[in-house]
Amino acid sequence: MSDVIGSVLYTREQIETRAQEIGKQITEDYKGEKVILVGILRGAVMWMSDVMKNVDLDMTIDFMAVSSYGSSKKSSGIVKINKDLDTNIEDQNVIIVEDIVDSGITLNYLVGYFESRGAKSIKICSLLNKQCNRKVDLSATYVGFEVDDLFIIGYGLDYDQRYRNLPYISYLEDEED
């Protein structure tokens, strides 16, 4: 059975505008300080590239890859590190760049991980926030857009590794049967 793609929720232009606003906000918030943006592969790549071009600070980037087991539409709750940081983040201002905060389990785990590595500060910059599905007490400081209880695809977000290339945010329609 083939997937049915829903309507466009947020266009590329809307996302780029939000990235400009958030990049400016980060620039103000960390004035005079250094930051490291840590992108979470692979979903955050488009959003990360949009945000970073709007940050006017002394900054570096790194990436991590994590997975919660399985390829279904639900997070399993078990987080596994597939690619660790290449950077020592001790005493650094870390901004975690994510595609979506859903249950919050992945980011909750990562915040704890960065704390254990001695980060000076840790904030989250997520393209999307799906508040209705939160399972842990966690909120992102910088959020592009709120989304409802839908399975989101596009602009980096996948279903079974597909649709990351869509230049807008959409969702998968519920299967009929």
Residue 39 contacts which entry, Mg ion, ligand IMP, none (Cβ below 5-8 A, type-dependent): none
Tokens of 94: 């870390």
Interacting residue with ligand IMP among 92, 93, 103, 129 (CB under 6 A): 103
**Catalytic residue (choose from 91, 102, 160, 177):** 102
Residue 151 contacts which entry, ligand IMP, Mg ion, none (Cβ below 5-8 A, type-dependent): ligand IMP
Interacting residue with ligand IMP among 104, 129, 140, 166 (CB under 6 A): 104
Closest Cα partner for 10 from 161, 162, 159, 150? Answer: 150
DSSP for 70-124, written as a single string: SSSSS--S-EEEEE--SS--TT-EEEEEEEEESSSHHHHHHHHHHHHTT-SEEEE
The radius of gyration of the chain's CA atoms, rounded to the nearest angstrom, is 16
Kindly indicate which of the ranges 28-36, 56-64, 93-101, 117-125 contains the residues binding ligand IMP, using the contact rule CB under 6 A: 93-101
Provide the sign of the torsion angle of the four alpha carbons 28, 34, 40, 45, taken in this order: positive
Residue 170 contacts which entry, Mg ion, ligand IMP, none (Cβ below 5-8 A, type-dependent): none
Q: Phi-psi category of 115—alpha, beta or left, where left has phi over 0 and alpha has psi -120 to 50?
A: alpha
Kindly indicate which of the ranges 2-10, 26-34, 83-91, 94-102 contains the residues binding ligand IMP, using the contact rule CB under 6 A: 94-102
Distance, in Å, from the CA atom of 107 to the CA atom of 100, rounded to the nearest integer, reads: 10
Please give the residues from 3 up to 62 whose contact with Mg ion meets the rule CB under 5 A: 43
Closer residue to ligand IMP, CB minimum distance, 30 or 125: 125
> Catalytic annotation on 174?
no
Enumerate the β-bridge partners of residue 125. Answer: 97, 142
Token look-up 């905060």 returns 101
**Does residue 10 interact with ligand IMP by CB under 6 A?**
no
Residue 98 contacts which entry, Mg ion, ligand IMP, none (Cβ below 5-8 A, type-dependent): ligand IMP
**Would you tell me which residues interact with ligand IMP (CB under 6 A)?**
43, 68, 75, 98-106, 151-152, 157
**Would you tell me which residues interact with Mg ion (CB under 5 A)?**
43
